[in-house]
Amino acid sequence: MKYEPQKLETKWQAFWQREGLFEVAEDPQREKYYLLEMFPYPSGRIHMGHVRNYTIGDVVARYKRMLGKNVLHPMGWDAFGMPAENAAIENSTHPAKWTYDNIEAMKEQLKKMGFSYDWDREIATCDPDYYKWEQLVFLKMYDKGLAYKKRAFVNWCEKCQSVLANEQVVNGCCWRHTDLEVSMKEMDSWFLKITDYADEILDYCDRLPGWPDSVLKMQKNWIGKSYGAIIRFPLVGSDKVVEVFTTRQDTLFGATFMCLAPEHPMVKEIVKGLPQEKEVHQFIENTLKMDSFMRTADFTSKEGVFTGRYCLNPVTNEKIPIYAANFVLFDYGTGAIMAVPTHDQRDFEFAKKYGLPLRVVISPPDHEIDEETMTEAYIEEGILINSHPFNGQRNLEALDSIAEYLESEGIGQKTVNYRLRDWGISRQRYWGAPIPIIYCDRCGTVPVPENDLPVELPLDLDLRPNGASPLPFEPSFFETVCPECKGKARRETDTMDTFVESSWYFDRYACPEYALGPLDKDRVNYWMPVDQYIGGIEHAILHLLYSRFYTRVMNDLGYLNIREPFLNLLTQGMVCKETQQCPTHGYLYPYQVREGRCSLCQAEVITGSTVKMSKSKRNVVDPQDLIDQYGADTVRMFCLFASPPEKSLEWSDQGVEGSFRFLNRVWRLILDCLDDLKKVSSYDGKIELADPLKSLHRKTHQTIKKVTNDIEDRFHFNTAISAVMELVNETNQFINSNGKKDDTAWSVIREAVEATVILLSPVVPHITEELWQVLGYKDSLLKVEWPHYREESLHEEERLVVIQVNGKVRSKIVVPSSLNEKEIEILALEDERIKQVIGDKAVAKVIVVQKKLANIVVKN
């Protein structure tokens, strides 16, 4: 019988579905295990990134199931978002139709991969039954002040025709349109108050041992907590003060001027009626015209303009000039800084450019610096000078006492500041969840009453050809009545950032059909938190940070009992492949290359670097083609075997071929000697074995141990598979070795073969189900318990001991493993080769590592 993957995969997929083997229910008697992979955007076809991500997850899910755990392994669709709108315009379909068609197609593909999802729990976030609850949570957040609207400078992407959150701006560009710079636009936007939770989210970073350090570091950096002080500088000729935030109150005595962000409302206020007014206004206008990327780029020089006004340095009482400066950020701290040119490089450059005074207040321990001659700011530690009464103290040690001094004098106080800003969720998009708010001329901003939810997205609209949202142009949507005064009112036409949907979908999987609220508490509390979350590193900040925030909000609103959603996180690496370019036709798809030549013009193809698979580089492999050619098992196996999950995976067609060959080898191993195998049952340990049977039996148990450890502790499926390959090789060798084989021999072979099948089953579930049946078992492998190794079977009577002289291997001996260190030392010294090497040199000492090595240290 030949290995025909497609036939047998269809058979087993149908079987699993018919038997409902992946459907789970809450069972308080059993230990739960929630395994989650990041749900996909339904783009229409799965790609290799999905295949890798979901294969890793599926192995763990199947493994945990075999350990007897009650495993929740759901799948759904991150179904709102821009591409649906773009596709709708291009193909003149509706985003909803496009999305649901794609979901159907991708679901089909995922099923072909043999993933063990409980499809009864499927979620699509564009379903009103889903976003209804999101709208409800939004209203609850609005009640508590966690959702609020403000006029703000926001990131605007021209291509998206929409606002972006700070997290969605990458190198000054939109995260989806990396070729287009984001500009700043002042508009009304809704925000979620993630900053209220900044401290807690930061603290808990140290309580997530199951997360990669790199991700936690990124989140910590993103939150950017810093300790400092707010200091009030009285404005000369007014009773007003200008507040600044600084982490360097130790340099306050050296503050010789002040800079305000151009957007700072005080700038326009203080220049009113002064000769500088026109110039300042011009400066503000010019600066704001620049988009955020240009404004903050390396090559943009520090510029500013004198406002004509002064404030008083509150500790020196000196009059210091106030500038408006382009490098001061409006939305960090207070939007104003005290400038200390002697100890801050930016301030130094600015001061030199505009001829502003310098005063050194920190003196280096080993030399003196002079305001006249210094060429850069001194930013190291030192001793405070010109800072009565703090002179002579070490600057860092004085930070606290200076802050206390400011507090006691009433001119400032200690404070903590964050880099993290509130999450802007307004999107001027159509294909998203409507924000449930109504604007009434009389009653102002009025939340939609809970009974009126969901605010459904109308499906009977035509999209506007320029890509803008049709909602603000659609009276049937935005015209409504005020819930309070019943007068004419207008709906909010912005929709929510799609990251809101993905911030709680994992909760909803616990109770996807629940109709009485967002979450069924009992079920959610049984399943949550997610025990193992698996997904791409690209979501290290965006999705994972939002989800940690949203979970806390849901907890505070009483919807669930936990504060952290994901116990363990595995971030899998990218799938890469080399690029191929034709001199005339540019990047080529793999199928366009034949024997190193371009199939269009026969020119020699240049093989480029290996980079992440992407359509733009055309270095993609369609999983569907591979499934058709080799079957899902081979694809799954290669994804796992080629590299450990957290590293990037380099695609190799020959590697795939190798995986396919291996599965064929396993297939033949069993089918070629099926008659012999069927005569016996698996070796039960009752009969004492002698070599070579004993060593095959030992190898089987060593393999069980290794595979179990590799999956359990490290998710290192590549080494787990290697171990099984070794077992298969050894079994094959044993079968092919001469000598008659009795029933005992066959029972030991059968033990090895059964172990092979079971250990491989999470990786290649179809072929192993088939082989299990071929071996004569009636029940599905899914119901088989994960094997245990027997400690006594691992025992080896003999050990190879390496003998080194001065750390270099000089001989190897096989000794009984019962020998103690002294006995090994004696044998090592008696070894003929060793005697030769040592000659007449004196042995200084001998180091023996039990059962492994002896190192003889000699002197000459």
Q: Which residues, 47 to 106, sit near RNA by CB under 7 A?
A: none
Stretch of 337-345, 504-512, 770-778, 789-797 contacting RNA, by CB under 7 A: 337-345
Please say which residue, 26 or 821, places its beta carbon nearer to RNA.
821
CA distance 674 to 679: 9
Cβ pair 72, 32 in contact under 8 A: yes
Q: Which residue has the tokens 């290669």?
A: 638
Stretch of 354-362, 485-493, 613-621, 662-670 contacting RNA, by CB under 7 A: 662-670
Does 691 help bind RNA (rule: CB under 7 A)?
no
Torsion angles phi and psi, residue 391, rounded to 5? -55, 140
CA torsion angle 717 537 42 181 (round to 10): -150
Euclidean distance between the first and the last CA atom of the chain, given in angstroms as a whole number: 67
Parallel, antiparallel, or unpaired: how do β-strands 226-234 and 412-417 relate?
antiparallel
Please say which residue, 293 or 514, places its beta carbon nearer to RNA.
293
CA distances from 563 to 52, 430, 525, 570 (A): 29, 32, 11, 19
Does 242 help bind RNA (rule: CB under 7 A)?
no
Please say which residue, 285 or 441, places its beta carbon nearer to RNA.
285
CA distance 69 to 29: 10
Does 300 help bind RNA (rule: CB under 7 A)?
yes
Q: What is the nearest approach in angstroms of RNA to the Cβ of residue 372?
A: 24
Does 710 help bind RNA (rule: CB under 7 A)?
yes
Does 850 help bind RNA (rule: CB under 7 A)?
no
* Closest C-alpha among 457, 431, 500, 458 to residue 81: 431
Cβ pair 254, 360 in contact under 8 A: yes
Q: What is the nearest approach in angstroms of RNA to the Cβ of residue 226?
A: 4
Choice from 296, 413, 561, 818 touching RNA (CB under 7 A):
296
Binding mask 628-657 for RNA (x = CB under 7 A): -------------xxxx--xxxx-x-xx-x
* Closest C-alpha among 664, 493, 643 to residue 574: 643
Residue by residue, DSSP assigns 405-448 as HHHHHTSEEEEEE-S---EE-EE--SSSPBP-EEEETTTEEEEP
Per DSSP (E only), the strands in 1-111 are 32-37, 70-72
- According to DSSP, the residues that pair with 183 across neighbouring strands are 156
Choice from 268, 352, 523, 665 touching RNA (CB under 7 A):
665
Please say which residue, 128 or 212, places its beta carbon nearer to RNA.
212
Does 223 help bind RNA (rule: CB under 7 A)?
no
Q: What is the nearest approach in angstroms of RNA to the Cβ of residue 707?
A: 9
Does 344 help bind RNA (rule: CB under 7 A)?
yes
- Angle 743-760/693-709 helices, nearest 10 degrees? 10
Choice from 162, 246, 342, 634 touching RNA (CB under 7 A):
246
CA torsion angle 168 434 75 707 (round to 10): 30
Does 393 help bind RNA (rule: CB under 7 A)?
no
Does 342 help bind RNA (rule: CB under 7 A)?
no
Q: Which two tokens stand for residue 815?
A: 């000794």
Q: Which two tokens stand for residue 474?
A: 């659609």
Q: What is the nearest approach in angstroms of RNA to the Cβ of residue 696?
A: 15
Cβ pair 611, 538 in contact under 8 A: no
Choice from 170, 274, 383, 680 touching RNA (CB under 7 A):
170
Q: What is the nearest approach in angstroms of RNA to the Cβ of residue 650?
A: 5
Does 245 help bind RNA (rule: CB under 7 A)?
yes
* Closest C-alpha among 52, 3, 71 to residue 766: 3
Does 337 help bind RNA (rule: CB under 7 A)?
yes
Does 829 help bind RNA (rule: CB under 7 A)?
no
Q: What is the nearest approach in angstroms of RNA to the Cβ of residue 345?
A: 8
Please say which residue, 89 or 218, places its beta carbon nearer to RNA.
218
Q: What is the nearest approach in angstroms of RNA to the Cβ of residue 836?
A: 9
Please say which residue, 423 or 505, places its beta carbon nearer to RNA.
423
Q: What is the nearest approach in angstroms of RNA to the Cβ of residue 152?
A: 15
Cβ-proximal residues to 761 (8 Å cutoff; 6+ apart), any chain? 62, 66, 768, 769, 772, 781, 784
Does 694 help bind RNA (rule: CB under 7 A)?
no
* Closest C-alpha among 73, 48, 115, 53 to residue 536: 53
Interacting residues with RNA between 779 and 808 (CB under 7 A): 800, 802, 804, 806-808
Choice from 195, 393, 664, 773 touching RNA (CB under 7 A):
664
Please say which residue, 648 or 681, places its beta carbon nearer to RNA.
648
Q: What is the nearest approach in angstroms of RNA to the Cβ of residue 184?
A: 13
Q: What is the nearest approach in angstroms of RNA to the Cβ of residue 3?
A: 10
Q: Is the dihedral of CA 412, 413, 419, 422 positive or negative?
A: negative
Q: Which residue has the tokens 């001793």?
A: 383
Interacting residues with RNA between 178 and 217 (CB under 7 A): 213-214, 217
Interacting residues with RNA between 265 and 294 (CB under 7 A): none
Stretch of 33-41, 87-95, 221-229, 387-395 contacting RNA, by CB under 7 A: 221-229
Does 413 help bind RNA (rule: CB under 7 A)?
no
Q: Which two tokens stand for residue 385?
A: 């000078």
Please say which residue, 529 or 631, places its beta carbon nearer to RNA.
631
Please say which residue, 46 or 377, places its beta carbon nearer to RNA.
377
Cβ pair 526, 562 in contact under 8 A: no
Please say which residue, 442 or 845, places its beta carbon nearer to RNA.
845
Q: What is the nearest approach in angstroms of RNA to the Cβ of residue 27?
A: 32
CA distance 160 to 175: 10
Stretch of 10-18, 316-324, 393-401, 717-725 contacting RNA, by CB under 7 A: 717-725
Does 855 help bind RNA (rule: CB under 7 A)?
yes
Binding mask 726-765 for RNA (x = CB under 7 A): x--x--xx--x-----------------------------
Interacting residues with RNA between 492 and 551 (CB under 7 A): 537-538, 540-541
Stretch of 298-306, 399-407, 629-637, 784-792 contacting RNA, by CB under 7 A: 298-306
Choice from 335, 341, 432, 436 touching RNA (CB under 7 A):
335
CA distance 756 to 784: 13
Choice from 43, 276, 624, 709 touching RNA (CB under 7 A):
709
Please say which residue, 224 or 487, places its beta carbon nearer to RNA.
224
Q: What is the nearest approach in angstroms of RNA to the Cβ of residue 547?
A: 17
* Closest C-alpha among 720, 770, 656, 717 to residue 55: 717
CA distance 718 to 410: 64
Please say which residue, 147 or 336, places its beta carbon nearer to RNA.
336
State the amino acid at position 827 in one-letter form.
L
Based on DSSP, count helices (H) and strands (E) in the chain, helices before strands. 28, 35
CA distance 696 to 793: 10
E strand or H helix at 151: strand 147-157
Choice from 40, 74, 95, 228 touching RNA (CB under 7 A):
228
CA distance 276 to 309: 9
Q: Burial letters for 642-667: b for 16+ Cβ neighbours within 10 Å, e otherwise?
A: bbbbbebbebeeeebeebbebbeebb
Q: What is the nearest approach in angstroms of RNA to the Cβ of residue 600?
A: 26
CA distance 710 to 703: 10
Stretch of 53-61, 89-97, 510-518, 659-667 contacting RNA, by CB under 7 A: 659-667
